[in-house]
Structure 1
Amino acid sequence: MKAQGMCASQFDAVRQAFEDMFDDPQERGAGLCVQIDGEMVVDLWAGVADQEGTRPWTRDTLANTFCVVKPYVAVAVLMLVEQGKLELDAPVARYWPEFAQNGKAKVTLRQVMSHTAGLPALRAPDHNAMMYDWEHMVRVLAAEPLWWEAGTDLGYGTTTFGWILGELIRRVDGRDPCDFIHAQILQPHGLDVHLGVDEKHFHRIARFDSARGRVGDPYSQGLRAVLKNQPTHIATFAFTNPGMVPKRTSDPRWWAYRQPGVCGHGTAHGLAGFYSALLAGNFIGRELLNEFRREHSHGMDRVWMRPMRYGLGCMLEQQRDPTASHAMGPQTFGHIGLGGPISFADPERQVSFGFVTTTSGSHTMIDPRPSRLSSLVYAAL
């Protein structure tokens, strides 16, 4: 399938690989953007935005990005750290006293941001019916006991991350966290990323669905087996209570959902533009940027059930694990979303990368599609 957009001749192999993706009849629509030193060198899109195959994908089509937006709320929190309104090593309960319940009085902001807080999931009862009610969910979270002593183990805060950091923004700034992110990060740089899509943009949203026959790497297969067969496993609670699943993405309530750790919609150029702006010194100063992307935790993650490395709200390069590698430099950092979307930066080469898709794969880390594309970008540099 012929891709639309632009591609510098140096990256012709990237364009060819992007077009070759659509040889698979299950591949409906996707977008790819690569920027170097803030300059666009690849900006491609192809396919359709609906399941019927009648609405062409355009440059402005919005794709569901799931957890790709976690670094946005993390950077927003670091902006408030830089302003002196938050401290990384202060207890969360200093700003949110109710959070101290059930053994959480000493949990620090740094531990939450590095996924070592001991609060990666919510136990029963089922919270899916109330997931769109922010006030209800933060009350539940404030009352939730720790799964383990903070700082002693690693567990990805699938949904809890966004509620904790978002509530801290509300407590010290007064604004809804997504309003803060839009006003302070997205709008000033014209980034086409939405944490809660306005109804006037609903028509731009592409429909998301799973592909059949894609099994994923062994770690991913193991996680899916646990989610299917072990209802009381911590990973099952983290990913299903409430659940961030492809079937939810056809619901207008999801499109408008304002949970800054799990629900974003954007374009590939919007995602890449965030990292270009970040590398250029916007949002936070160099010292905090270095703190954001240095390793704060590593080890076997009890939620992902695989080895992970984290900064302060971003995932770090895993060169020893090809299924979790960005296929660029060792200092690369960014974040994945469920089923294939990804955005990241390589600070050594000043590369920013954004990929969006509506065809969900089965790799829980980096999908083979963007991995192939990023390796070709890196080879062309």
Structure 2
Amino acid sequence: MPAHETHNDRRSLTNGHCDARFAAVREAFEENFRERGELGAAVAVIVGGKTVVDLWGGWADVARTRPWERDTVVNVWSTTKGPVALCAHLLADRGLLDLDAPVAAYWPEFAASGKERVRVRHLLSHRAGLSGLREPHSLEDLYDWELTTARLAAMEPWWEPGTRSGYHALTYGFLVGEVVRRVTGLRPRAFLEREVTGPLGLDFTIGLPAKESGRAAEMVHARAEPSGGRATDFGQPAPAAVAALTNPAVGATEANSPRWRAAEIPAANGHGTARAVAGLYGVFAGRGSHDGRRILSPEAAERVREGQGSCRDLVLGAGFGGETELGLGLWLSGAHGSYGPNPRAFGHDGFGGSCGLADPDAGVSLGYVMNRMGSRIADDPRKTALVEALYRAL
């Protein structure tokens, strides 16, 4: 078998290249179409700075009229949180942001309602107690940056900040993003493009410019849910969980709308290719460097996986089968092995299936994107199959 093989099998609708050593990843990718209900998807793997897997296939729309192409982009939901965390760590690395400082040092209004002691690291680790807004917040409200951040600044936390994690499904991006804006004058979309995706040539944006809409894959509802799911499907039906996952409720229909794509929702509406996701998480896997460019110092890249304490997440609860642990912006693989057998590997899943993974110890990053949403908020079987195949090949 040649060291580098091209695969163009229209029967399985998979295309691209895969080094022979990683044939198990290609096989798992094809099995996702045959056995796990995949519609359209792509997967990319970078090892030691070299792209060893770059596969795509299937259909970009539910009617199966548009094949998934090399440059098809798709909404990756919470996989967007990794690049947003990267923005904060880049500022910290430059001495412009102190992760142990009170958020109010950069965002004075945030001190309201007893939040004067909430630290920047609490935002990154979902420990700020602001998993969702207390007052009803519509989709139209969500599209309004100033309104959303003002309501977050004014609200009282659901629990004592710093004591437990509770997944900030939509609010994370506004919280971390507003700190980025207060420090730089730029929201995360512009800052990420200027500092990371532009210099690295990565096909990833927060939101999607209208001129690029023709490349976007159509998101398809989870088979088990007609929309974004219910809080009780993923964890405890506590008010903090209900607020996090249903205020407002979002799903495939919303993600396909021009308004969603035009908005800046840095926790949930990043659009990109698997290649770009692997590159962004590859900055962490490369200990701060990717494609010959240094984005972070090695120390800053290592800080991302600094554990903030294991606990049963107050929002996801039983959805992760027990205790989990966040670093400063990303989930640690831990005992669950969500990002491979190295417990100190880390990454982030996107609602319905997508994933970014970084393992600096192995020098590996992975990006997986898709358009048929599964019913799980994390550890979709398709992603798990790809991760397991990758580590078998290493």
TM-score (norm 2): 0.89
The equivalences for 1:177-256 within 5 A come to: 177-212=188-223, 223-224=232-233, 233-256=239-262
Match for 2:353: what amino acid? G
Give unmatched runs, 5+ long, in structure 2. Answer: 1-11, 289-293
1:315 Cα deviation after fit:
0.8
What CA distance in whole angstroms lies between the structure 2 residues aligned with 1:93 and 1:211? 39
What do the CA deviations read for 1:123-172 (whole angstroms, capped 9, x no partner)?
12233331101011111111111112211222111122111111111111
RMSD: 2.0
CA contact (8 A) 1:26 1:211 kept: no
**1:288 lines up with 2:300 in the alignment:** yes
CA contact (8 A) 1:189 1:277 kept: no
Match for 2:251: what amino acid? V
1:305 alignment partner in structure 2 = 317
Moved over 4 A (4+): none
**1:347 lines up with 2:363 in the alignment:** no
Q: After alignment, is 250-259 or 41-50 more displaced? A: 250-259
1:259 Cα deviation after fit:
1.9
What CA distance in whole angstroms lies between the structure 2 residues aligned with 1:278 and 1:339? 24
Q: Secondary structure at the match of 1:42?
A: strand
What CA distance in whole angstroms lies between the structure 2 residues aligned with 1:223 and 1:368? 20
2:28 alignment partner in structure 1 = 17
1:267 alignment partner in structure 2 = 273
1:378 Cα deviation after fit:
0.8
CA contact (8 A) 1:339 1:362 kept: yes
Distance change in 2, residues 1:25/1:66 (3 Å):
closer
The equivalences for 1:24-63 within 5 A come to: 24=35, 26-63=37-74
* Alignment length (residue pairs): 370
CA contact (8 A) 1:335 1:344 kept: yes
Distance change in 2, residues 1:86/1:370 (3 Å):
same
**1:358 lines up with 2:358 in the alignment:** no
**In the alignment, which of 70, 79, 85 is matched to residue 96 of structure 2?**
85
What CA distance in whole angstroms lies between the structure 2 residues aligned with 1:257 and 1:173? 20
What CA distance in whole angstroms lies between the structure 2 residues aligned with 1:315 and 1:173? 26
What CA distance in whole angstroms lies between the structure 1 residues aligned with 2:233 and 2:302? 34
CA contact (8 A) 2:333 2:343 kept: yes
Q: Secondary structure at the match of 1:169?
A: helix
Give unmatched runs, 5+ long, in structure 1. Answer: 215-219
Q: After alignment, is 272-281 or 8-17 more displaced? A: 272-281
1:210 Cα deviation after fit:
2.4
What do the CA deviations read for 1:105-140 (whole angstroms, capped 9, x no partner)?
111101111111222111122333311010111111
The equivalences for 1:35-184 within 5 A come to: 35-184=46-195
**1:278 lines up with 2:278 in the alignment:** no
Q: After alignment, is 336-345 or 72-81 more displaced? A: 72-81
What CA distance in whole angstroms lies between the structure 1 residues aligned with 2:146 and 2:93? 27
Match for 2:160: what amino acid? E
